[in-house]
Amino acid sequence: MKENNGMGMIKIIIIMLFIGIVVALSVYFIRMQYHEARVETIKTDMLQVQWKVKDYIDKQIVKGEEKKYLGTKLSEMKEDLVLKEFFNKNILSEEEYDKYYVLKDEDLATATLKITNYKDSYFIINYDTYEVLVSMGCKYSENEVLYKLSDIINKSSEIEKN
């Protein structure tokens, strides 16, 4: 009788270990899916910003109006608390600050975008190249944060190839 009890306990331990492994793997894959969805959302939002702002400028050109850029020059926002960390990371050189414009929520609304900036972050655009950046960055992996739309697209293409 005691031998059966011992086998029963071993079976229960094995089943519990199996359930634990299944739960751990499920949590891991759900986190990966959430992370991938977040990256895709940021990329999609940046593409929308790029497209709508370009459309906004193109409409001015078609109407023969003088170009009126949305946003505030990055060089004029050096004291902004939200951008302090962005400046500290040297994503852009100081010479480039005049080429980039920070889009606040009202600027996004003017461009007829239905999205807003993320919490403690801004979308930033270069009107010469229509390169879009997000000041908080997009955490792509444990040790890699991407800020530029072109970098995110290139990284996505790289991963899809593999």
| Each residue's pLDDT expressed in tens, for the chain with a length of 162 residues | 455 666 788 889 999 999 999 999 999 999 989 888 988 999 999 999 999 999 999 999 898 888 899 999 999 998 888 898 899 888 898 889 999 999 999 999 999 999 999 999 999 999 999 999 999 988 877 788 899 998 888 887 777 676
- Tell me how far the alpha carbon of residue 16 is from its chain's centroid: 39
Q: What integer pLDDT is reported at residue 144 of this predicted model? A: 87
Instruction: Report the distance separating Cα 106 and Cα 71, nearest Å.
Output: 9
72 Rama class: left (phi>0) / alpha (psi -120 to 50) / beta: beta
Residue 132: count of CB within 10 angstroms of its CB: 26
Nearest by Cα to 77 from 92, 56, 63: 92
Instruction: For residue 35, give both structure tokens.
Output: 């992370």
What sign does the CA torsion over 86, 92, 94, 96 have? negative
Q: Which residue has the tokens 């290139």?
A: 154
Rg (CA), the chain: 24
Task: Look at residue 5 in the predicted model and tell me its pLDDT.
Answer: 62
Predicted local distance difference test score (pLDDT) of residue 9: 84
Residue type, 17: L
pLDDT of residue 4: 61
Question: What pLDDT does 142 receive?
Answer: 79
Residue 49 is inside which H or E element, if any? helix 2-62
Could you tell me which of 95, 78, 96 has the C-alpha nearest to residue 87? 78
- Residue 56 near residue 111, CB atoms below 8 Å: yes
Residue 130 confidence (pLDDT): 93
Write the CB contacts of 61 (distance below 8 Å, at least 6 apart in sequence): 67
Report the Cα 24 to chain-centroid distance in Å.
27
pTM over 0.95: no
